[in-house]
Amino acid sequence: MPSFMPLSTRYKKPFSNENETLVVQFSVKHKQGIHCGGGFVKLFPDTLNQEDMHSESEYYIMFGPDICGFGNNKVQVIPHYQGRYHENNKTIKPRINKDTHLYTLIIRPDATYEVKIDNQQVAAGDLEDDWDFLPPRKIKAPYTRKPRKWDERLQTEDPEDKKPEDWEDFEYIPDPEAR
């Protein structure tokens, strides 16, 4: 049965990472192993009512390992942007054992990010490339069709094509390296 065990602390003053690098770092240890669950850190808005905090409380960023079964394990990096949560497009594999692991998320002002586990980089890139924050740069044109007489062959013969007048068709030529 899933359980939600919230623990939170309020900063004395809300912070902003505008034009600054944001680093979220924490350690996780699953003493008894884990078959299905997560160990997340969430950054909440300063409007959060901590007495009423629950799994559906709005957050700015959720980060941490999400482990469920054998094939559905990944490190979640889910920012909240323009009223929606955005899952990362890359699959970042967590460490699954009973050891303590250090998870680090770095978001830079130039819109790049880095995820580290135990101080080893496991993912990095551009926020715009690895999340669907913006509409796709190209979409399928809904009303385009190939012409009725479209030729699917990769190469076609050109009946008008002719070799130049001075064309010489030799099967063999002298090898300048031969003795």
What domains can you pick out in the chain, each with its CATH number?
22-130 (2.60.120.200)
pLDDT of residue 112: 95
Which segments in the chain show pLDDT lower than 50?
1-2
pLDDT of residue 114: 96
pLDDT of residue 70: 67
CB proximity list for 21: less than 8 A, separation 6 or greater? 106, 107, 108, 109
pLDDT of residue 19: 92
In degrees rounded to 5, what are phi and psi of residue 51?
-70, -25
- How far apart (Å, rounded) are the C-alpha atoms in residues 110 and 101? 28
Q: Please tell me the chain's helix, strand, coil percentages from 3-state DSSP, rounded to the nearest 5.
A: 5, 30, 65
pLDDT of residue 98: 78
- How far apart (Å, rounded) are the C-alpha atoms in residues 41 and 120? 19
Identify whether the C-beta of residue 114 lies closer than 8 Å to the C-beta of residue 123.
Answer: yes
Judged by DSSP in three states, 51 sits in helix
Laid out side by side, the sheet with 112-117 consists of: 22-29, 100-107, 112-117, 120-126
User: What's the half-sphere exposure (Cβ side, CA atoms, 13 Å) at 42?
Assistant: 20
- How far apart (Å, rounded) are the C-alpha atoms in residues 7 and 157? 73
Phi-psi region of 69 (alpha: psi -120 to 50; beta: other; left: phi over 0): left
pLDDT of residue 138: 80
